[in-house]
């Protein structure tokens, strides 16, 4: 067998074809063409599985990669090179990611055909779903940051459409806009980072970037007082923060549950949010070079802990899952930051399986009961046995109970975090990373079991609400009226996807052994295959590696190299690990997280099953209120920063519009006076009030300043900003 | 000699009419001046030996787009745009005023400076190319290129045109309230 | 002899005039005129480079496609202008702020 472009491209192309057909002829097809979407993803899955099989069974060496490029356009003139290449980049990591994305997306599609049945937006849903998946697959396949950015934006658009699919609901419309605008802030930075990389490397290929890092080309001029590498890495990471919903830009993700539940499953599990982690992993050498890994770890820790605390008090079952996604994304970022490269990636994969399963289970509950408020659920175990089983597996996994996948990946991240925080000789303040990480792990176990207990155990409370259930609309678009809950039976569209996903919440699939430490190996010689296959890119290897033409053929026979054996290798990618201390940290971390997870479960058990401890809401009403308000982030962004804090700036801009831009400047002197006056007023209002009264960071303020200017609504103002930003970029960077 | 004469005439026509487009108060006249600019650019194409592009430029732009513009101007109330006085809402007149032109000029200067900074190195690095005064017809070769190398773009552009046609018809159709 | 630089300068002037038109004028049709100027500046650059820097006709092809895209853009843009006029009874650009909130 040979690898040509024809054996790779269908992964990306078949969902695109399904999208095109469904978009134009979906209404003509039977069942609005949903079978076509499912089929197309299945084709992707088959091709991905073949690639994964080849990589997994050692047909390619560990550090082998397939890189096929073609020149999209070439406008070089003289010594000025302006050439854009596109291509495919496949290595171990992308083969795993492709299999995960296509597999999970296939099951989600299958489930959606059941969930969206008889829904008025059935056809529309199955237009965007394959496009979304294809964008993610394309993102994984792409070999450069430029095409990555294209797919990134397509995903942004698709998430916008999927979140706001019931656009007549005001909340859904707002949520979709919020998601779009918030991620856009990150996207601007990502684009800036890409341009900066282009400037010094002359190309945005991963391979070229790695080679450039190895050759030390990133010693460009300092920008705004920070070194060029740091600037670039920060820009790229800011993009990842927007997409992966990290701390200051996290506000969109919880609202993203407004769409249909399978759509949320796709956004939260397989695609979209993992894209940010993906780009951080791909650009990991740059992050190390720019020395911002500690920053990534801190942001991740804040997100992991903060989101977990909010999740404790949510009553909507999907809101709990949304905040748990935020929290788990925080763990992935901790993983990237503390140098546990392959554990972070493993957490992407394990999280995709259990979070997809959790969301689909929630969808199954909502579809059966037409209710998503947990206080109105309860006792569903006997009605929905299969859903209960699947959801229980996933809950065990996410809570970090041993033998499940979440334990394997999260524990490795936490172990490395422990080493990073206490033993690696870093700044002692960075101990906050493992502390918040472990605290978040305990909270995770607590709130997930709270959700399980409230939903599936105790007495059934669904009938209480039926009296006023009419007129209430759940996210499925149905009126919740009081029909009896039917016992579910095994159906290949509704339960089987859940059960398949539940199978992959077991830890040994990823660790290769049941208990750890080479005991109970499942895959024989492929023990710890994840560590063998995934390692941080070693940039020196990429110098002067030839590229292949797009039409070239990779024959397996020529490139078989023996697998390296990594039995005692930790997978830690940070600087100079002390193996002994690292091992100690992992042992301590493992026991600590087992203890924390079980105590979280135990507290939840006491509160919600035994009822011997009062639930949180009654015990700490003050804290609960604060958490329910989500730390007032929305209030802070909208009311304080945009309405109050920026009112002065608003006036200033209005004056700018009216005065300079239109015709109100009568006298030059008066104008100068007014500028001074308004500027000082602006300074008073924004800087003194916002910081002095609310004690908040200026960074957040700046983000909103950008948003405010973007929202002026005057198109000519946009032109001016466009030219000015371009000019300032060229002048400051001295191209 | 003729070449330089043609170049000078075309350049003068292009630049002069372009500036006139910017400063004329009557939008109708602006459209007419745009016509001059486009014809001037066609002349510049001719001096570059791009006969096919020059002819297409005249046919499509001068024959199509400018006429379309004129239609739009007339459909949206032609005379109304002649330097209307400031109205009650505090809006500037439709043509803009000295302040907007000042701002536009400032942005333009910034852009020119930026561009000159970028272009300086280009000017120095491009090798002087010598070619004779021969201007072979490009039609044949362009035809080959369009159906060989660029056939996908060619087909896509036809789809784009069709889409634009249908879209324009749908957007502009009168609607019942 | 006419050099590449002279074409680039003409194209720069066209571009800047287009930019000024887009920023300074308040009439949507005028802004579309500005866009046409900018597109023409780009097309002129393509053809000039095609003559002076490369030996092929790809630049010509590009400017042909620019003309096509400009035609499509003009058609749709003017349709939008007419529709806008039907709704707002003006084509002042500052009235077009529906998406602000």
Query: Residue B133 pLDDT > 50, yes or no?
Result: yes
In chain B, the N- to C-terminal Cα span, in Å, equals 63
Please give the pLDDT value at position A89.
85
Which positions in chain B touch C87 (Cβ < 8 Å)?
none
Quick check: A79 and B125 CB within 8 A? yes
Q: Range with the lowest mean pLDDT among A31-40, A286-295, A538-547?
A: A538-547
Contacts with B170 (C-beta within 8 Å, 6 or more apart), sequence order: none
CA-wise closest residue to A239 among A153, A166, A340:
A153
Q: Find out whether A727 and B114 touch, Cβ atoms under 8 Å.
A: yes
N- to C-terminal Cα separation, chain C: 56
Q: CA A378, CA A315: separation in Å to the nearest integer?
A: 12
Are A242 and A249 contacting, i.e. CB atoms less than 8 angstroms apart? yes
Measured torsion, CA atoms of residues A517, A519, A523, A527, in degrees rounded to the nearest 10: 20
- Is B97 within 8 Å of A724 when comparing Cβ atoms? no
Alpha helices of A419-576 — where are they, by DSSP H? 432-456, 496-503, 508-511, 529-533
Contact A34, A126 (CB under 8 A): yes
Cα dihedral B10, B16, B19, B25 sign: negative
Contact of A559 with chain C, judged by CB distance below 8 Å, is answered with: no
H helices of A164-292, in order, are: 170-201, 206-214, 228-243, 252-255, 261-265, 273-282, 284-290
Give the C-alpha distances (Å, rounded to integers) separating A559 from A2, A5, A63, A563. 12, 18, 11, 12
- For residue A83, give the H/E element and its range: strand A83-90
A563 confidence band (pLDDT: 50, 70, 90): very low
Chain B touched by C46 (CB under 8 Å): no
Running DSSP on this structure, what letter comes out for residue A257?
G
CA distances for A374 relative to A362, A400, A451, A611, angstroms: 11, 23, 7, 16
Whole-number Å distance between alpha carbons of A12 and A101: 11
Please provide the DSSP assignment of A383-414 as one string.
T-HHHHHHHHHHHHHHHT-TTBHHHHHHHHHH
pLDDT in tens, A45-87: 999 998 888 877 766 666 677 777 777 777 666 666 677 788 8
Contact A675, A655 (CB under 8 A): no
Q: Which of C49, C93, C99 sits opposite A77 (nearest CB)?
A: C49
Q: Residue A201 to residues A85, A225, A237: CA-CA distances in angstroms?
A: 13, 21, 18
Q: Which of A77, A713, A720 sits opposite C97 (nearest CB)?
A: A713
Q: Nearest CB to C19: which of A714, A715, A723? A: A723
Instruction: Tell me how crowded residue C2 is: count the other CB atoms within 10 A of its CB.
Output: 17
pLDDT the model gives residue A479 = 44
Which residues of C fall below an 8 Å CB-CB distance to A?
19, 22-23, 31, 49, 53-54, 93-94, 96-97, 99-100
Contacts of A661 in chain B (CB under 8 A): 99-100, 103
Residue B126, chain A, CB below 8 Å: the answer is yes
Name the token pair of A97.
């990611």
Interface touch B77/C85, C-beta < 8 Å:
yes
Q: What number is the average pLDDT over the span B79-91?
A: 43
Instruction: Over range A427-439, report the average pLDDT.
Output: 84
Q: Which pLDDT belongs to residue A523?
A: 64
CB pair distance less than 8 Å for C18 and B100: no
How far apart are alpha carbons C31 and C42 in whole angstroms? 17
Q: Which residues partner with A473 through β-bridges?
A: A479
**Average pLDDT along chain A:** 76
**Domains plus CATH for chain C?**
26-95 (1.10.287.3510)
Residue C94 with chain A: CB contacts under 8 Å: 714
Chain C residues within 8 A of B31 when measuring between CB atoms = 29, 33
pLDDT digits (tens, 9 = 90+) for A465-477: 544 444 444 445 4
Residue of C nearest to A712 (CA): C100
Which residues from A are below 8 Å from C63, CB to CB?
none
Is residue A566 within 8 Å of A530, Cβ to Cβ?
A: no
In this prediction, residue B42 carries a pLDDT of 92
A455-469, B43-57, B74-88, C48-62, range with the lowest pLDDT: B74-88
Question: For the segment A163-180, what is each residue's pLDDT rounded down to a tens digit?
Answer: 888 878 878 877 888 788
Question: In the predicted model, what is the mean pLDDT of chain C?
Answer: 84
Tokens 């927007």 correspond to what residue? A242
Quote the pLDDT of residue A244: 85
**Residue among C50, C51, C79 whose CB faces B171 most closely:** C79
User: Per-residue pLDDT for B116 more than 60?
Assistant: yes
Lowest mean pLDDT among A466-475, A671-680, B100-109, B113-122: A466-475
**Choice between C43 and A454, residue whose per-residue pLDDT is larger:** C43
Mutation target among B36, B39, B65 for the C interface, most CBs of C within 10 A: B65
- Contacts of residue B168 in chain C, CB cutoff 8 Å? 75-76, 78-79
Question: Is A560 an 8 Å CB contact of chain B?
Answer: no
What is the Cα B42 distance to its own chain's centre?
A: 10
B132 to chain A, any CB pair closer than 8 A? The answer is: no
Other beta carbons within 10 angstroms of residue A17's beta carbon come to 15
A712–C19 C-beta distance less than 8 A: no
Q: Which residues of B touch C1 (CB under 8 A)?
A: 4
Distance linking the first and last C-alpha atoms of chain A: 47
Helix then strand then coil, in percent of chain B rounded to 5, is 75, 0, 25
* Cα gap A112→A31, rounded to integer Å: 12
Provide the chain A residues 658-687 that lie in CB contact (below 8 A) with chain B. Answer: 658, 660-663, 665
Please say if the pLDDT value at position A569 is more than 60: no
**Closest B-chain CA to C3:** B128
Q: Report the range out of A16-20, A336-340, A553-557 with the highest average pLDDT.
A: A16-20
Q: Which chains have 3 or more CB–CB distances shorter than 8 Å to chain C?
A: A, B
Q: Which letter does DSSP use for residue B82 in this model?
A: S
Is B85 an interface residue toward A (CB < 8 Å)?
Answer: no
- Comparing CB atoms, the residue among A77, A661, A731 nearest residue B114 is A731
| B72–C78 CB contact, under 8 Å | yes
CATH of B2-135, one of 3.30.56, 1.20.120, 3.40.720, 1.20.144: 1.20.120
B162 inside 8 A of chain A by CB: no
Nearest CB to B118 within list A79, A716, A730: A730
Q: What is the average pLDDT across C14-37? A: 88
Residue A663: its chain B contacts at CB < 8 A? 86, 92, 97-99
DSSP state of A271: S
Shortest CA gap A264–chain B (Å): 32
Question: How far apart (Å, rounded) are the C-alpha atoms in residues A26 and A20?
Answer: 9
Residue A517: pLDDT band (50, 70, 90) is low
Chain C residues lying within 8 Å of B149, measured CB to CB: 61
Domain residue ranges of chain B, discontinuous segments joined by +: 2-135, 138-177
Residues of A in contact with B97 (CB under 8 A): 662-663
* CB–CB contact C48 B18 (8 Å): no
Tell me, what's the pLDDT at B11?
Answer: 92
Task: Flag if C85 and B76 touch (Cβ within 8 Å).
Answer: yes
What is residue A270's DSSP assignment? Answer: I
Q: Which of C12, C18, C37 has the CB atom closest to B115's CB atom?
A: C12
Contacts of B111 in chain A (CB under 8 A): 723, 727
Q: Where are the alpha helices (DSSP H) in A142-169?
A: 145-163
- Supply angle C-alpha A584, A588, A593, rounded to 5: 145
The ipTM estimated for the assembled molecules is 0.89
Q: For B84, what's the count of Cα atoms within 13 Å in the CB-facing half-sphere? A: 22
**Residue pair B85/B92 in contact by the 8 Å Cβ criterion:** no
Nearest to A76 by CA among A203, A195, A205: A203
In chain C, what residues touch B104 (CB-CB under 8 Å)? 19-24
Collect contacts of A565-571 with beta carbons under 8 A, ≥24 apart.
Answer: A565/A532, A566/A528, A566/A531, A566/A532, A567/A518, A567/A527, A567/A528, A569/A531, A571/A340, A571/A341, A571/A342, A571/A343, A571/A412, A571/A531, A571/A534, A571/A535
Which chain C residue has its CA at the smallest distance from B96's CA? Answer: C25
Residue A20 near chain B (CB below 8 Å): no
Q: Tell whether the model's pLDDT for residue A187 goes beyond 60.
A: yes
**Whether the predicted pLDDT of A330 surpasses 80:** yes
What pLDDT, on the 0 to 100 scale, is given for residue B3? Answer: 83
Query: Phi and psi for A288 in degrees, rounded to 5?
Result: -65, -45
Q: Do A720 and C23 touch (CB under 8 A)?
A: yes
Percent of chain A with pLDDT over 70: 72
Residue-level pLDDT at A557: 41
Say how far apart CA A8 and CA A31 lie, in whole Å. Answer: 29
Q: How many CA atoms lie within 13 A of A56 on its CB side?
A: 21
Residues of C in contact with B93 (CB under 8 A): 26
């Amino acid at each position: 067998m040979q690898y040509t472009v024809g054996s790779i491209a269908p992964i990306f192309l078949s969902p695109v074809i399904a999208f095109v057909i469904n978009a134009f002829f979906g209404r003509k097809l039977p069942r609005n063409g949903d079978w076509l979407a499912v089929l197309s993803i299945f084709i992707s899955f088959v091709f991905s599985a073949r690639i994964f099989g080849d990589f997994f069974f050692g047909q390619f060496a560990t550090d082998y990669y397939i890189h096929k490029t073609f020149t999209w356009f070439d406008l070089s003139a003289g010594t000025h090179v302006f050439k854009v290449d596109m291509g495919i980049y496949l290595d171990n990591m992308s083969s795993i990611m492709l299999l995960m994305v296509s597999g999970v997306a296939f099951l989600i599609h299958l489930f959606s055909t059941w969930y969206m049945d008889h829904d008025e937006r059935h056809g529309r849903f199955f237009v965007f779903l394959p496009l979304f998946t294809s964008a993610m697959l394309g993102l994984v396949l792409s070999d450069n940051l430029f095409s990555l950015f294209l797919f990134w934006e397509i995903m942004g658009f698709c998430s916008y459409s999927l979140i706001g699919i019931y656009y007549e609901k005001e909340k859904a419309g707002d949520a979709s806009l919020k998601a779009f605008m918030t991620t856009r802030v990150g996207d601007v930075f990502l684009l800036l980072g890409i341009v900066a990389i282009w400037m010094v490397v002359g190309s945005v290929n991963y391979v070229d970037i790695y080679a450039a890092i190895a050759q030390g080309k990133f010693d460009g001029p300092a920008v705004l007082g920070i070194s060029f590498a740091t600037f670039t890495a920060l820009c790229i990471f800011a993009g990842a923060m927007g997409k992966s919903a990290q701390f200051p830009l996290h506000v969109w993700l919880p609202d993203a549950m407004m769409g249909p539940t399978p759509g949320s499953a796709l956004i939260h599990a397989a695609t979209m949010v993992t894209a940010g982690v993906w780009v951080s992993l791909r650009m990991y050498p740059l992050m190390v070079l720019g020395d911002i890994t500690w920053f990534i770890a801190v942001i991740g820790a804040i997100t992991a802990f903060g989101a977990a605390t909010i999740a404790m008090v949510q009553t909507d079952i999907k809101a709990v899952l949304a905040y748990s996604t935020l929290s788990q994304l925080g763990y992935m970022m901790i993983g990237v930051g503390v140098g546990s490269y392959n554990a972070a990636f493993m957490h992407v994969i394990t999280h995709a399986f259990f979070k997809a399963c959790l969301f689909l289970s929630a969808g199954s509950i909502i579809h059966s009961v037409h209710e998503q408020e947990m206080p109105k659920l309860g006792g569903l175990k006997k009605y929905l046995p299969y859903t209960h089983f699947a959801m229980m597996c996933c809950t065990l996994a996410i809570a970090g109970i041993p033998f499940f996948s979440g334990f394997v990946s999260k524990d490795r991240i936490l172990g490395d975090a422990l080493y990073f925080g206490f033993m690696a000789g870093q700044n002692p303040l960075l101990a906050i990373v493992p502390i918040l990480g472990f605290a978040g792990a305990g909270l995770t176990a607590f709130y997930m079991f709270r959700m399980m207990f409230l939903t599936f155990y105790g007495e059934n409370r669904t009938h209480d609400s039926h009296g006023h259930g009419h007129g209430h609309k759940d996210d499925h678009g149905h009126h919740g009226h009081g029909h009896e809950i039917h016992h579910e039976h095994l159906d290949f569209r509704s339960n089987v996807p859940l059960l398949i996903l539940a199978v992959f919440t077991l830890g040994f699939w990823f660790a290769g052994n049941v208990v750890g430490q080479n005991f109970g190996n499942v895959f024989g010689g492929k023990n710890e295959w994840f560590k063998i296959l995934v390692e941080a890119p070693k940039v020196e290897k990429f110098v002067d590696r030839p590229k292949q033409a797009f039409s070239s053929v990779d024959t397996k026979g020529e490139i078989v190299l023996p697998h390296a054996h990594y039995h005692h290798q930790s997978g830690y990618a940070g600087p100079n690990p002390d193996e002994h201390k690292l091992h100690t940290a992992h042992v301590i971390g493992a026991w600590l997280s087992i203890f924390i997870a079980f105590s979280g479960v135990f507290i939840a058990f006491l509160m919600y099953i035994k009822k011997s401890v009062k639930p949180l809401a009654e015990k700490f009403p003050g804290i609960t209120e604060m958490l329910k308000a989500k730390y007032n982030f929305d209030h802070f962004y909208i009311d304080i920063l945009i309405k109050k804090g920026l009112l002065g700036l608003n006036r200033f801009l209005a004056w700018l519009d009216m005065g300079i831009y239109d015709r109100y400047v009568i006298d030059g002197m008066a104008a100068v006076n007014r500028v001074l006056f308004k500027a000082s007023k602006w300074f008073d209002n924004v800087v003194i009030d916002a910081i002095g009264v609310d004690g908040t960071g200026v960074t957040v303020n700046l983000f909103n300043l950008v948003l405010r200017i973007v929202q002026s609504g005057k198109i000519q103002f946009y032109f001016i900003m466009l030219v000015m930003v371009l000019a300032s970029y060229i002048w400051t960077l001295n191209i | 000699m003729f070449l330089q004469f043609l170049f000078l005439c075309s350049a003068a026509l292009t630049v002069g009419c372009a500036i006139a487009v910017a400063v004329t108060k009557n939008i109708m006249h602006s459209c007419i001046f745009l016509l001059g600019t486009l014809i001037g650019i066609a002349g510049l194409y001719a001096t570059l030996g791009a006969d096919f592009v020059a002819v297409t430029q005249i046919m499509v732009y001068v024959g199509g787009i400018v006429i379309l513009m004129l239609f739009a101007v007339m459909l949206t109330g032609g005379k109304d745009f002649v330097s209307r006085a400031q109205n009650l809402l505090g809006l500037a007149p439709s043509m803009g005023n000295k302040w907007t032109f000042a701002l536009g000029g400032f942005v333009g200067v910034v852009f020119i400076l930026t561009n000159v900074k970028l272009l300086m190195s280009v000017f120095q690095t491009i090798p002087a190319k010598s070619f004779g005064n021969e201007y072979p017809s490009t039609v044949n070769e362009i035809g080959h290129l369009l159906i060989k190398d660029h056939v996908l773009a060619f087909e896509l552009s036809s789809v784009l045109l069709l889409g634009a046609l249908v879209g324009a018809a749908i957007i502009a159709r009168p609607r019942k309230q | 002899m006419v050099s590449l630089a002279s074409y680039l300068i003409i194209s720069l002037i066209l571009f800047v005039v287009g930019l000024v038109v887009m920023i300074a004028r308040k009439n949507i049709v005028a802004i579309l005129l500005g866009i046409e100027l900018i597109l023409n500046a780009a097309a002129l650059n393509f053809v000039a480079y095609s003559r002076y820097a490369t030996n092929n006709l790809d630049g010509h092809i590009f400017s042909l496609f620019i003309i096509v895209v400009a035609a499509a853009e003009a058609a749709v843009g003017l349709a939008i202008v007419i529709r806008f006029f039907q709704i707002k009874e003006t084509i002042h650009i500052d009235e077009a702020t529906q998406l602000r909130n």
